[in-house]
Structures are given as C-alpha cells and as structure tokens.
Amino acid sequence: MAKEVKTIGVLTSGGDAPGMNAAIRAVVRTAINKGLKVKGIMRGYAGLLQEEIVDMDGLSVADTINRGGTILYTARCQEFTTAEGQQKGAEICRKHGIDGIVVIGGDGSFKGAGKLSALGINTIGLPGTIDLDIACTDYTIGFDTAVNTAMEAIDRVRDTSTSHERCSIIEVMGRNAGYIALWCGIANGAEDILLPEKYDGDEQKLINRIIENRKRGKRHHIIINAEGIGHSASMAKRIEAATGIETRATILGHMQRGGTPTCKDRMYASIMGAKAVELLVAGKSNRVVAYKGGEYVDFDIQEALSMTKQIPEDQYEISRILVR
C-alpha cells in the first residue's frame, strides 16, 4: 500500500537534455502549491549517495525555464547500480525525510528509480533524453530542441557543401538510436541517412548512390550518420577515394545537447513535471510519466522498461523516396 508523501526530492540523471529545468521547475512549484516540501538532489544518484541535498522553494527555480542543461547538474553513478548503493540511497532519503522522488532521465535512470521504489521510497520517472529512445513514450524531454539544433546546423553545412559541390557526412547524436538522424534526414532533405537500427554496413551501395546522384546533376550529397555507427572521418576518406568527389565529415557532438529549450520542450516538460507530483500526491509509486497517442499517461516502471521501440518503417521509407 503506497504511503502519503510529505517531502519530495527531485534529481536529474544520465545525459542532460534541454527542458529538464522546465520539468524541475514544474515539480518544485506544483509540490509547493500542494503543501509539500521539496529537496533538490544534486548530480543524480551520485549526489544522493554523497548527500548533496538542498532545500528548494519557488524562487530556487526562478529564471530557469528558458535555460538549457540542468540546474541540479547530472552524473552517472556506478555505485548506485549495486544493491548496497541502492540501500544506502534509500537510507539517505529516509534520513532527509524524503518519502517521494522524481527522477528525470532515461531508461538507466528509471532502473535506479525502480530500485528506490522497491526499497520504500515512492518514485516517479520523467523521460529526459535527447535521443527519443524511451519505448513507452512518443516524446522525451529535450528531443525537440536537439533535433532543431541539429537541423539548423545541417542547413549551414549544406550551404557550403553545395557551393563546393562536395559530399558531406554529418554525424548526429544517438548512441543506439537513430531518431535524431531520421528526423534530420527528412527535415534536411539528406540524400542518405545511416541509422544504427537500419544500416547494413554496405558502403559500396552508398558510394554507388553518390556517383549516380552526381551523374543526375545533384550538386551535393548529404549523408546524416548517427553516432551509433560513427567513424565519419574515415568513411569520408574512403568515399572521397572511391568517388573522386571531395568529402568532408562534421561531427555535431554535444552542441546538440545544449541551448535554450524550444516551446514544445518547455511545455511538455512542465506538464510532465506537474503530473509527476500529482501521482506522488495520489500515493502512486514506481511509475513513468509518458506522452502516448496524444495524451499524458503513466506506466509501471518495469512495464515501461520491457517495451521496445522501432524506427517507424513508413517514415524511413518516406525519407528514402523524398530524396530521389
């Protein structure tokens, strides 16, 4: 039976994402509005284990909705993946009177949240990652900003690529997930997109298409390569050698994780932050807030973690048709 929550903690964990501050702000202000106390846990689970815990009030989150990154900082923490680390974390929560926690992060962070829940600390997860690779939700905090940042950068590379009649390989983030690459592929009109979920490693096919497109009169050839495939610089060298077309590689890197969040990220993150507190107040635990089929919903953490997500086949096919 879930218990009543009086003091909640909030932390951000894993890779930061624009919009996390909007979520933190919504958690803090909704909680205060409902008469709860709020504590900020710095540096994710690492900060929890170090007892880096600060009191927060409405003013602690003033001037943050427009800021990228996370005001609570974030970290990865090996110790928290152990049973001893999780036990210590739950004890520290009890010591500080924290009986509910909102964890903003990705699947790894949700695994930690599930453990805290099993140890008696009511926990709610919010999906925060630029990668969009959380199966239970159609939206993750930070994806919209990151994909817009990448799109604008790729437009700029395209200008110079066309002027020099070059081939350009642009590497976007996504260690295991090709969503940023897919969306930019369509939005930037890339000639090729290489997704970890789809790429068969056949570089000769890629080379043949570049040559064929040049013969058809295309002045550039933009290849968006997801980080999960990587090796953009060496790929560029091989393509230049095989095609005779000057080829450059650009790795966009962490610039995609920073910057002022878009309206969508501020809006969705704010609603999700408020929903997380509502769930805690209703005595719920071990849930993840998601946006699915046009609605805000919540799932059991283990159920959410067992779901799988595929690159939508129709979107991938459309991306291929639109560049021919």
Give the shortest CB-195-to-ligand F6P separation in angstroms: 13
On whether the CB atoms of residues 181 and 172 are closer than 8 A, the answer is: yes
> Which pairing describes strands 53-56 and 37-41: parallel, antiparallel, or unpaired?
antiparallel
Lookup: tokens for 53: 């815990």
In the three-class reduction of DSSP (H, G, I as helix; E, B as strand; rest coil), residue 250 is classed as strand
Verify binding: residue 111, ligand ADP, rule CB under 6 A: yes
> Out of 10, 11, 12, 13, which residue is the one contacting ligand ADP (CB under 6 A)?
13
**Which helix or strand (DSSP H or E) is residue 243 part of?**
helix 232-243
CB nearer to ligand ADP: pick between 76 and 209: 76
Burial category of 190 from C-beta neighbours within 10 Å (exposed 0-12, middle 13-18, buried 19 and up): buried
Size of interface with ligand ADP, in residues (CB under 6 A): 17
Q: Which does 227 bind (CB under 5 to 8 A by kind): ligand ADP, ligand F6P, none?
A: ligand F6P
**At its nearest, how many Å lie between ligand ADP and the CB of residue 159?**
33
Residue 226 has phi, psi (to 5 degrees) of -75, 145
Number of residues that make up the chain? 324
Torsion angles phi and psi, residue 296, rounded to 5: -85, 125
| Single residue of 26, 80, 171, 249 touching ligand ADP by CB under 6 A | 80
Cα–Cα distance for residue pair 13/46, rounded to 1 Å? 9
Should residue 108 be labelled a site residue for ligand ADP when binding is judged by CB under 6 A?
yes
Six token digits for residue 240: 């230049």
Give the burial string for 54-86 (b: 16+ CB within 10 Å, else e): eebeeebbeebbebbbbbbbbbbbeebeeeebb
Closer Cβ to ligand ADP, 10 or 77, answer by number: 77
Q: How buried is 234 (Cβ within 10 angstroms: 0-12 exposed, 13-18 middle, 19+ buried)? A: exposed
SS3 content of the chain, % helix, strand, coil (to 5): 45, 20, 35
Catalytic residue among 131, 133, 144, 265: 131
Identified binder of ligand ADP from the candidate list 45, 291, 299, 316, rule CB under 6 A: 45
The residue number with the shortest CB distance to ligand ADP is: 108
Question: Which residue among 99, 107, 192, 265 contacts ligand ADP (CB under 6 A)?
Answer: 107
CB atoms within 10 A of CB 216: 8
CB 193 within 8 Å of CB 213: no
- The yes or no reply on residue 14 touching ligand ADP (CB under 6 A) is yes
**Exactly one of 5, 8, 48, 77 binds ligand ADP (CB under 6 A); which one?**
77
Residue 16 is a catalytic residue? no
Residue 257 binds which of ligand F6P, ligand ADP, none (CB < 5-8 A, kind-dependent): ligand F6P
Q: Which does 19 bind (CB under 5 to 8 A by kind): ligand ADP, ligand F6P, none?
A: none
Q: Which residues bind ligand F6P (CB under 6 A)?
A: 15, 129-131, 173-175, 227, 257
Under the criterion CB under 6 A, does residue 106 sit at the interface with ligand ADP?
yes
Residue 146: CB minimum distance to ligand F6P, A: 8
- Work out what residue 112 binds among ligand ADP, ligand F6P, none; the CB cut-off runs from 5 to 8 Å by kind: ligand ADP
Among ligand ADP, ligand F6P, none, partner that 115 touches (CB below 5 to 8 angstroms by kind): ligand ADP
Residues assigned a catalytic role: 131
Binding stretches for ligand ADP (CB under 6 A): 13-15, 45, 76-77, 80-81, 105-109, 111-112, 115, 129
